[in-house]
């Protein structure tokens, strides 16, 4: 860790460099004002300086010691996507134990959080509650995703392959695996109930494990794993994760970092564009010359129309009565997102995730104990509610996501998933591309 606030100020200027892509994700950043401030000794500082040192070593082909000497030589400026207003919200919320528990005994799990803008800039992070920065659970610790992997590993690639549309039916039934001398059914749903044929939107908003496993089976675990690595940029996911348990239920070997999870979900609010998460953009020497520039990787991870359909699927998760994440809904701001519950080796509730997005920021929240012990008997405030408490305090500019104009809205029959007719009992609005439409309901 770095020295104190004052020591830091003596040798380095941190410039908040808020790059904006939100209005037009296809434009490169328009570097705005060089708002000078500095970052106190913090989890963000830890992450930023580590990235600068690592990249400096590679760019200059020098040792870590030489990189550190340069940085501490004095007078340099580091431009960052750090946002002191957002960080102040995280610091305030995480300093107050009452934001984490209903329990008067104050028995509650640890938590970490990462907030990204839509150009991959990490606006703020925090790595622990109780104002304890000795262990940076945001930047330094990958977390198991549970069901929050499903939109990325199963629904998004199946939609891109035109295997599914917004309301197509998927069997919420277990897969049957053959063992040496027997067969077994997998996976169980969290509520123990298999719903049979249900629409894609229903399967996602009720976070059905069996339906997700059916999609992974059709895509193959290897395809899903490649999609996570190539399209969504996860650095901790390896081919060892090309398994049913990892791709359908998020039981990953290493887990993922919160800022990488948020960067992946940003694709759904960003016209399908992926931006590599980053903690700095540029380092200048004392004469103002650029000595290090962060070449942020950017690519089209999904077609723009399919990204918008994913956006609406995740909107229903939050904004329907049976949506699993409806505790995160906000009155005047659109929220999309997905919950996840991790299991440890004993198959207990050992970690919780909520990754949610509003039109200005994507925020990923983790909760759990460092030793992955069970949270089953703990009275904690769930990540959806913590998320809403945090994001509800952000200064926000936009209240709605930008729709993709080529996506067509139709009412579909909630029973058959087909386009609704006046004979259908119940219908909802669905979102489709013209090459991937349901046929009319004939039930």
Under the rule (CB under 5 A), what is the footprint of Zn ion? 413, 416, 424, 441, 443
Task: Record the tokens describing residue 125, joined without a space.
Answer: 């992070």
Between 131 and 443, CB nearer to Zn ion = 443
Between 124 and 413, CB nearer to Zn ion = 413
CB of 432 to Zn ion, least distance (A): 16
Between 311 and 416, CB nearer to Zn ion = 416
CB of 245 to Zn ion, least distance (A): 35
CA–CA gap between residue 280 and residue 16 (Å, rounded):
9
CA–CA gap between residue 126 and residue 46 (Å, rounded):
11
Long-range contact pairs involving 34-38 (C-beta distance under 8 Å, separation at least 24):
34/79, 37/84, 38/5, 38/8, 38/9, 38/12, 38/13, 38/14
Contact partners, residue 146, CB within 8 Å, separation at least 6: 249, 250, 339, 340, 341, 342, 343, 351, 352, 353
CB of 424 to Zn ion, least distance (A): 3
CB of 170 to Zn ion, least distance (A): 17
Between 318 and 441, CB nearer to Zn ion = 441
Between 103 and 443, CB nearer to Zn ion = 443
DSSP per residue, 157-178? HHHHTTS--TT-EEEE--EEEE
> CA distances (Å), 66 to each of 1, 71, 75, in order?
17, 9, 16
Residue with tokens 């899903």: 224
CB of 415 to Zn ion, least distance (A): 5
CB of 428 to Zn ion, least distance (A): 11
Between 111 and 416, CB nearer to Zn ion = 416
CB of 425 to Zn ion, least distance (A): 7
CA–CA gap between residue 73 and residue 12 (Å, rounded):
9
> CA distances (Å), 286 to each of 57, 95, 207, 359, in order?
19, 36, 53, 37
Between 295 and 409, CB nearer to Zn ion = 409
DSSP per residue, 317-349? HHHSTT-TTGGG--SSS--EEEEEEEE-TT--E
Q: Which of 105, 85, 66, 120 is nearest to 295 (CA)?
A: 120
CB of 195 to Zn ion, least distance (A): 17
Q: Which of 378, 374, 399, 381 is nearest to 93 (CA)?
A: 381
Paired residues of 80 in beta bridges:
16
Between 65 and 421, CB nearer to Zn ion = 421
Between 261 and 441, CB nearer to Zn ion = 441
Contact partners, residue 286, CB within 8 Å, separation at least 6: 74, 75, 76
Question: Is it true that the peptide bond before 187 is cis, omega within 30 degrees of 0?
Answer: yes
CB of 438 to Zn ion, least distance (A): 10
CB of 440 to Zn ion, least distance (A): 9
Q: Which of 306, 308, 293, 307 is nearest to 29 (CA)?
A: 293
Between 340 and 417, CB nearer to Zn ion = 417
Tell me the residue nearest to Zn ion as measured from the CB: 413
Sign of CA dihedral 43, 49, 52, 54: negative
């Amino acid at each position: 860790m770095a020295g104190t606030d004052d020591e830091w100020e003596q040798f380095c200027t941190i410039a908040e460099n808020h790059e904006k892509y939100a209005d037009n994700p296809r434009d490169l950043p328009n570097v705005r004002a060089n708002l000078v401030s500095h970052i106190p000794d913090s989890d963000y500082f830890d992450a930023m300086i580590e990235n600068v040192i690592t990249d400096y070593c590679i760019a200059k082909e020098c040792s870590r010691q030489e990189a550190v000497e340069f940085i501490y030589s004095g007078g340099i400026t580091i431009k960052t996507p750090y946002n002191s207003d957002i960080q102040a919200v995280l610091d305030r919320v995480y300093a107050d134990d009452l934001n984490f528990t209903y329990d008067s005994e104050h028995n509650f799990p640890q938590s970490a959080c990462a907030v990204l803008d839509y150009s991959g800039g990490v606006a703020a992070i925090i790595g622990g509650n109780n104002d304890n920065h000795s262990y940076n659970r945001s930047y330094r610790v990958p977390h198991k995703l549970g069901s929050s992997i499903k939109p990325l590993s199963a629904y998004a690639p199946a939609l891109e392959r035109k295997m599914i549309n917004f309301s197509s039916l998927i069997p919420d039934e277990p897969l049957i695996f053959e063992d040496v001398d027997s067969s077994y059914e997998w996976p169980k749903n969290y509520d123990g109930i298999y719903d049979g044929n249900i629409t894609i939107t229903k399967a996602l908003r009720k976070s059905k494990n069996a339906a997700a496993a059916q999609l992974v089976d059709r895509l193959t675990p290897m395809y899903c794993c490649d999609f996570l690595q190539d399209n969504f940029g996860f650095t901790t996911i390896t081919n060892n994760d090309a398994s049913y348990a990892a791709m359908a239920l998020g039981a990953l070997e290493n887990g993922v970092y919160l800022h990488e999870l948020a960067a992946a979900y940003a694709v759904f609010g960003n016209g399908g564009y992926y931006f590599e998460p980053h903690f700095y953009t540029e380092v200048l020497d004392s004469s103002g010359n650029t000595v290090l520039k962060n070449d942020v990787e950017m690519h089209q991870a999904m077609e723009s129309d399919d990204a918008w359909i994913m956006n609406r699927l995740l909107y229903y998760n939050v904004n329907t009565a049976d949506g699993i994440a409806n505790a995160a809904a906000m009155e005047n701001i659109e929220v999309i997102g997905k919950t996840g519950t991790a299991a440890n080796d004993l198959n207990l509730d050992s970690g919780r995730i909520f990754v949610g997005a509003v039109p200005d920021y994507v925020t990923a929240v983790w909760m759990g104990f460092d030793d992955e012990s069970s949270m089953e008997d703990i009275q904690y405030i769930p990540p959806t509610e913590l998320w809403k408490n945090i994001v509800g305090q952000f200064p926000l500019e936009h209240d709605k996501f930008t729709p993709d104009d080529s996506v067509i809205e139709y009412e579909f029959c909630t029973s058959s998933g087909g386009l609704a007719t006046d004979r259908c009992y119940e219908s909802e609005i669905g979102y489709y591309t013209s090459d991937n439409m349901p046929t009319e309901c004939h039930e």
